[in-house]
Structure 1
Amino acid sequence: MTHLQNREVVSAKRTALAIDGGTPVRSPDQRWPKWPVSPKKAHEVLSEVLESGRWTLSSAGGRELFERRFARMFADYLDVRHCVPVDHGSSALVIAMEALGLEHGTPVLVPALTWVAPATAAFRAGLLPVLVDVDPDTGIVGPDAVDPAVGAGAVVAVHLACVMADVPSITAVAQQHGMAVVEDAAQAHGARWLGQAAGSMGRLGCFSMQQSKVLTGAEGGAVVTDDADLAAVLEELRADSRRYPGEPIGGGRLELVESATSMGANFCMNEFSAAILCAQFDDLEAQHVTRNTNYRRLTELLADVDGVRVLQPRAEQTQTSIYQGGIVFDPLPATMPNDRVAEALTAELGVLFFPPREPLHRSRLLRPWMKPSLGPVAERFRQQHLDRRYPHAEYFARHAVLTHHSTFLGDEQDMADIATAVRKVVTAGFGR
């Protein structure tokens, strides 16, 4: 091979996509930030739990539970009166829906574009999820989705990726038709809408603290509310009909009383998860600042690329919490669907990019007829959705590409690499 031919081969590899054999934008030895990040006091608090003999809420009295500490800290962080920790975000949704006291089989409006948990939680609470379409630009449910014809008793407002739903507007419409608003803030710890925290604006707010979340205890969740009566019911629903006592209980007895005004189950958060969550508060705000700064930087770097936009919150969202960063491609060539774009970016950068989850009406994870115990409610779900369409959810699911929030814990060069990779994909993959 001549020197000129060799130069041509090298040049072709640089311009060709890495998934087609080209040279990637980023060298494999360039590392991305890891997640989860172990908090500075992790060993200290975990050792305290181990030595205390109190590993869960339903253990004999002694030192103050980390579960109680976390409940106070998280309530203060969100400016709400009550926080009830649970074992998972899905459990938070279940007990929130149960606490509303709706009749069996009552419809609940759920966005068609979200993780499956809001819909399955409705089934687990004996309710009927009814899917509604979302905004095609953000994937977020809005007030126009509150359909009074369904006869729903509640609507689940899901905050998605890095964008908050307009809960005040949704609530204004929902209240006209007797619907309660449940916020699914599993992806929005610390986000604020005109100064109000995500999770604090609906009648109930639900959070997940699963490993991928920006505030994680490996597994965990919480329900928050300003309603003292609802909080008492939530406590019973998550601890087998027991709640916190009004006064401290001494003598090594259980720190729960059998109030039993409602029948619950065991969804209690363990002390190891609670301890890690307490320790993570020291780092949470600094991590928010780093992510948000980098996200703004990437937005600026891609501002001049035609047909490419970085997913943006509305102006009313005064604080951003990035669970996933999003890039939307309008339009996409038939030869380069967004799952292919995600593969191409992953190959160029060495960090995972992925399309949004498929909308729930065609999700393999939502097949209630596979559970005989759901019986007639599952059949009602099937019949309810036979002729419903969700074009906006489909559009967003087919045009967006996402990446985990840890990608934005890096630095300026990391953002520059992402921008370079996006430009390369648009040029080489789209033929622009």
Structure 2
Amino acid sequence: MAPVQLRTPRLAIDGGLPVRRPDAGWPVWPQPADGADAALLSVLASGRWAISSPGRGELAERRFAARFAQYTGARHCVPTDHGSSALVIALESLGLRSGALVLVPALTWTASATAVLRAGLVPVLVDVDPWTGCITPDTLDLNVGAQAVIAVHWACSMADVPALSRVAAARGMSVIEDAAQAHGARWQGRSAGTLGRLGCFSMQHGKVLTSGEGGAVVTDDDDLAPVLQELRADSRRYGTDRRPGALELVEDPSTMGSNFCMSEFSAALLCAQLDALERQNAVRTANYTRLAELLSGIPGVRLLRRRPEQDRLSLYEVPIVLDPLPEGRDNTWAARALGAELRTHVYTPRTPLSRSALLRPWTKPTIAPLAERFVALHRDRSYPGAEYLARHAVVLHHSAFLGPGTDMDDIAEAVAKVMADSGRHADRLRHGVEMKVN
């Protein structure tokens, strides 16, 4: 592909003309799928707005559970109200003792760690590979005696769960996949979420499959499935009585649960949105491939490295890594500059959990013993891989990849323009130092 051509060198944040035309909008998100309005209206008229309502026709929650299990290739799916709730019940289903340690990536959304605390366990942060953004067998801390690992598929990259599982199994640890950012991704033909013992998904507003809020756990473990049902429905699980007026849930528990049930409106909406997911993923993947080709000719710019075993992408976020940043400028500046060129929101990765204001368990007196152990475990730890990505990447939301391929031309030109200015800025800094010395 030909090198990216710059139409104007002056940056938009410095008063120059932006790359993106003012009349060229970006795709909005969420996008209601065909039939979404009818699905919601059908629930409104059904008299069944929750899983606990008396039987009157098919429950949308059970329909979505069956469809999402089929989509992922899992034997069981248990929907939840949020992705973080899915992580909580997945952890609780393992039957670990209070205070057990769970390895969690340092670069992820806070729920991957706070869910561990909510389950009565202690997260231990581990570093990620700066090329993929995911944990690897080499980044795991195998000396702390952890009993579980949460493997997050980050942004658009999948963790090598089979390799992690081999290491974990040798030490009696279970692997839970946090596939909140990986709906439709595949590893050697297998769906994200089905490679570990349990897989957890989020259907929050920004996700590629969304109902505003929602989640799910998938598993092939026939023994864990009814336990997961009880853990999310106040100790109740699906019954077999499908007669009109009968309750969907039975009260014959093996464990005590909480109320993390998905609403009927969310479930019906997800059934409609699921019909559009493969088509949308295909559009995003084609655009990502085009952008990768365009960016390959720009020095100092890369996308996340994709393992060859990952044979299908799912884009939640697309980090563009800048190696290196020019002296005196950071990726916050680069994100602002790109946002001005593209007339859209470009942002930086989340702060690593080791210094995130969202992960401060010592602020909750009810979990003080867990918080004290968390603090003690994290003295003198460092996370160079997570810090590098947090400080060197800029991020685009997946919605930017739902338009025509020419949108990728604009993104690539904006990146080339910002990097060219960065080079000039570095030259100016060096020249200024030389002038002062002389």
Question: What is the TM-score of this pair, normalised by structure 2?
Answer: 0.94
SS in 1 for 2:104: strand
Residues 17 and 429 in structure 1, CA contact (< 8 A), matched pair in contact too: no
Any gaps of 5 or more consecutive residues in structure 2?
1-5, 427-438
Instruction: Determine the structure 2 residue equivalent to 1:254.
Output: 247
Instruction: Determine the structure 2 residue equivalent to 1:169.
Output: 163
Higher mean displacement: 35-44 or 145-154: 145-154
Residues 146 and 173 in structure 1, CA contact (< 8 A), matched pair in contact too: no
The percentage of aligned residue pairs carrying the same residue is: 61
Q: Deviations over 1:144-183 (max 9, x none)?
A: 1232211001000000010000000000000011100000
Residue 117 (structure 1) shift: 0.5
Letter in 2 for 1:92: A
Letter in 1 for 2:189: G
Letter in 2 for 1:117: A
Quick check: 1:69 aligned with 2:72? no
Matches within 5 A, 1:153-192: 153-192=147-186
Instruction: Determine the structure 1 residue equivalent to 2:352.
Output: 359
Instruction: Determine the structure 1 residue equivalent to 2:429.
Output: none
Question: What is the TM-score of this pair, normalised by structure 1?
Answer: 0.95
| 2:90 alignment partner, one of 74, 80, 96 | 96
| 1:328 alignment partner, one of 299, 316, 321 | 321
In 2, distance between residues paired with 1:211 and 1:418?
24
SS in 2 for 1:211: coil
Instruction: Determine the structure 2 residue equivalent to 1:420.
Output: 413
Q: Deviations over 1:182-206 (max 9, x none)?
A: 0000000010001111000100000
Matches within 5 A, 1:359-378: 359-378=352-371
Instruction: Determine the structure 2 residue equivalent to 1:38.
Output: 32
SS in 2 for 1:222: strand
Matches within 5 A, 1:17-28: 17-28=11-22
Matches within 5 A, 1:216-295: 216-245=210-239, 247-295=240-288
SS in 2 for 1:75: helix
Residue 310 (structure 1) shift: 2.0
Letter in 2 for 1:225: T
Residues 13 and 21 in structure 1, CA contact (< 8 A), matched pair in contact too: no
| 2:201 alignment partner, one of 191, 202, 207 | 207
Letter in 1 for 2:14: D
Residue 251 (structure 1) shift: 4.0
Residues 92 and 206 in structure 1, CA contact (< 8 A), matched pair in contact too: yes
Any gaps of 5 or more consecutive residues in structure 1?
1-11
SS in 1 for 2:386: helix
Quick check: 1:403 aligned with 2:403? no
Q: Deviations over 1:32-62 (max 9, x none)?
A: 0111011110121111100001011011111
In 2, distance between residues paired with 1:403 and 1:148?
34
Residues 131 and 305 in structure 2, CA contact (< 8 A), matched pair in contact too: no
In 1, distance between residues paired with 2:92 and 2:418?
47
Residues 336 and 430 in structure 1, CA contact (< 8 A), matched pair in contact too: no
Letter in 1 for 2:307: R
Instruction: Determine the structure 2 residue equivalent to 1:133.
Output: 127
Residue 254 (structure 1) shift: 1.6
In 1, distance between residues paired with 2:406 and 2:223?
51
Letter in 2 for 1:109: L
Letter in 2 for 1:298: L
Task: State the 4+ residue runs in structure 1 displaced beyond 6 angstroms.
Answer: none
Residues 83 and 202 in structure 2, CA contact (< 8 A), matched pair in contact too: yes
Residue 283 (structure 1) shift: 1.1
Quick check: 1:113 aligned with 2:107? yes
Instruction: Determine the structure 1 residue equivalent to 2:294.
Output: 301
| 2:81 alignment partner, one of 51, 62, 87 | 87
Letter in 1 for 2:45: E
Letter in 2 for 1:116: T
Aligned length: 420
Letter in 2 for 1:189: H
Distance 1:334 1:193, change over 3 A: same
Residue 312 (structure 1) shift: 3.4
SS in 1 for 2:157: coil
SS in 2 for 1:424: helix
Residue 352 (structure 1) shift: 1.3
In 2, distance between residues paired with 1:124 and 1:281?
30
In 2, distance between residues paired with 1:165 and 1:89?
18
Residues 133 and 145 in structure 1, CA contact (< 8 A), matched pair in contact too: yes
Q: Deviations over 1:98-150 (max 9, x none)?
A: 00000000000000000000110000000000000110112111111232211
SS in 2 for 1:130: strand
Letter in 1 for 2:291: L
Residues 236 and 263 in structure 1, CA contact (< 8 A), matched pair in contact too: yes
In 2, distance between residues paired with 1:260 and 1:382?
36
Residue 383 (structure 1) shift: 1.0
Instruction: Determine the structure 2 residue equivalent to 1:50.
Output: 44
Quick check: 1:317 aligned with 2:310? yes
| 2:118 alignment partner, one of 124, 144, 153 | 124
Higher mean displacement: 21-30 or 346-355: 21-30
Letter in 1 for 2:374: F
Instruction: Determine the structure 2 residue equivalent to 1:9.
Output: none
Letter in 2 for 1:82: H
Residues 138 and 396 in structure 1, CA contact (< 8 A), matched pair in contact too: no
In 1, distance between residues paired with 2:244 and 2:186?
43
Residue 325 (structure 1) shift: 1.2
Residue 259 (structure 1) shift: 1.8
- Give the CA RMSD over aligned residues: 1.3
In 1, distance between residues paired with 2:368 and 2:63?
41
Residue 13 (structure 1) shift: 11
Residue 429 (structure 1) shift: 2.7
